[in-house]
Structure 1
Amino acid sequence: MTLTAGRGPLSADPAGWFVPPLPDGAVYAEPHRRRVVAVRAGRTVLDTDDVVMVHRRGHPLSYAFRSSAVGDLPATPAAEAPGYVYVPWDAVDTWFEEGRELVHYPPNPYHRVDCRPADRALRVSVGGTVLVDTTHTVVVFETALPPVLYVDPAQVRVDVLHPSATTSYCNYKGWATYWSAVVDGAVVDDVAWSYAQPLAESASLAGCFSFDPARADVVAELPLNSP
């Protein structure tokens, strides 16, 4: 997630507005004083804390490095940061930022995940079978994304949920396991997801479930103007 994605301030559909408006194509770049290490074939091929982070609409969040730091890695000039270059994410096997292994893209310093205990109602059913009907929930406010309700497994008909082969990774919550519902012999794939071992900033979500409204009948008491 970046300033340019979701409903972020530099996205195509920002939640708010600038006064005066920003020009089209505005890019935000700033020094990112964290140590970034890249490993290829078991060998460290980049190790630097001279990094610029670049937010560009229509592009993933990007690191730009001093051209002198990238050695023989493939690189293209960063027009937004003279003297710096972009290195393709797949040019190396593994990226690290201050000791944390990264997956897919760099973490955004402006991204925040707030997990708040709530009394917001959540009712979930699949094929007429109620899986959740509770007001004991956790509301997750995540930068540039709509809020989402999670629920403790004690409030869920876990007997009809079975782990699927689907997984996903979030830089701010960690690895998610997906769950399929089996109701009266019918299988609804990937109806829910959970984080068994979330990252520290989302630790309170450990084991909690959230449900996909495109795959289940979900009635969630969400903040005003949420989808």
Structure 2
Amino acid sequence: MGLSWQQGPLSPGAIGHFLTPEPLPERLLFVEPLRRRMRVKFDDAWIADSENVVLLYEPGRYPVAYFPRADVDEQALVASGKTTHHKDLGETAWYTVKGGDRTVERAAWEFTALPGHAAELRDRIAFAWRAMDSFYEEDERILGHAADPYHRIDIRDTSRTLEVRHGGTVIARSAHPVALYESGFAPRWYVPRADIDESRLQAVEGQTFCPYKGLCDYYDIGDARRAAWSYRNAYTEVGRVNDMVSFEPDQVEVHLDGKRLEPEPGQKVISHGIDRGLDADEVKAR
């Protein structure tokens, strides 16, 4: 979730609210220092390398990294002459990024007429995530989008009973599921495969990618499409749910201690955009 997307406090779908006597502006933007070295690779060359990156959080978007112009290879930037208008931050100038024999249009941008209260973004360049080869923090590649320091995952064991049914058939029943609490999402309940009738799970083609958990596989259950999923090789940080299965309460019946779980709004992740790229191919090619 972080601050500004999914159901975070600065997002359009926030589930909480600020306790203030006066209404807040409809849109709140937030900027802060990243305090990590970040680098950008394009055409097998480093075109940005900075310890002075700032992250911009806009409502409904993942955070975007902005690099000081002094820390960007100027030869990689070619002014396109194209401008757009940002509703909060004013005129935006777009750049073509060049490297070797490769050229990508509208691959970087800069705010050129910032209001006074947004001076932290002056003389800074941002790069379209999907247009670059890769982004790094120190020597570790960051996949999907800029890492959000406000995004958190907690995993907890529980003795509550979870049962999954579809069409009157029990698909899973466990007295020791695992609860995964992820910022901005309703709790997700993961079940050991030993507690599942796996004959009811039909693996389907296509994976999605989570920057925090890894590649996700999906299953149909009868006529319920993509009703279950599993991180079969979960990242070490969330290894406790590795190869367990979770079920979608809007596709099948999920009961926790006898009470049916209802789908919650705002749970769908938007996987693509100028500041994001959650393609499974990106992690497969790592």
| TM-score range normalised by the length of the shorter chain | 0.7 to 0.9
Alpha-carbon distance, 1:59 to partner: 2.8
1:211 CA drift (Å)? 0.7
In 2, Cα distance between equivalents of 1:89 and 1:112: 22
Residue 123 in 1 paired to residue 125 in 2?
Answer: no
Corresponding position of 2:143: 103
Q: What's the TM-score, normalizing by structure 2?
A: 0.70
SS of 2:232's equivalent? coil
Shift of 1:225: 9.8
Unmatched segments (≥5 aa) in structure 2: 78-94, 96-107, 265-286
In structure 2, what is the Cα distance between the partners aligned to 1:200 and 1:217?
30
The residue identity in structure 2 corresponding to 1:24 is E
Is the contact between residue 249 and residue 262 of structure 2 (CA under 8 Å) also seen in structure 1?
no
Letter in 1 for 2:180: V
Alpha carbons 2:69, 2:125 under 8 Å: kept:
yes
Aligned to 1:170: 210
Deviates more, 1:108-117 or 1:20-29: 20-29
Deviations along 1:131-152, one digit per CA (max 9) or x if unpaired, are 1122311111111111111111
RMSD: 2.4
Distance (Å, rounded) in 2 between the aligned partners of 1:19 and 1:176 = 38
2:41 counterpart (36, 39, 42): 39
Match for residue 140 of structure 1? 180
Superposed counterparts of 1:78-97, under 5 Å? 78=111, 79=114, 80=118, 81-97=121-137
User: Which residue matches 1:217?
Assistant: 253
SS of the residue corresponding to residue 19 of structure 1 reads coil
Contact 2:48 2:67 in 1 (8 A): no
Alpha-carbon separation, structure 2, partners of 1:67 and 1:4: 25
Q: Aligned-pair distance for 1:14?
A: 2.2
Residues 209 and 100 of structure 1, relative CA distance in 2, 3 Å threshold: farther
Normalised by the length of structure 1, the TM-score is: 0.86
Give, as a single letter, the amino acid of the residue that structure 2 aligns with 1:77. Answer: E
The residue number in structure 2 matching 1:76 is 109
CA–CA distance in structure 1, aligned partners of residues 148 and 162 of structure 2: 30
Larger Rg computed on CA atoms: 2
1:113–1:201 contact (8 Å) kept in structure 2 = no
For 1:173 and 1:100, locate their aligned partners in 2 and report how far apart those are by CA, in whole Å.
16
Aligned to 1:158: 198
1:165 match: secondary structure: coil
Provide the C-alpha distance between the structure 1 equivalents of 2:70 and 2:256, rounded to a whole number of angstroms: 52
Q: Which moved more, 1:39-48 or 1:117-126?
A: 39-48
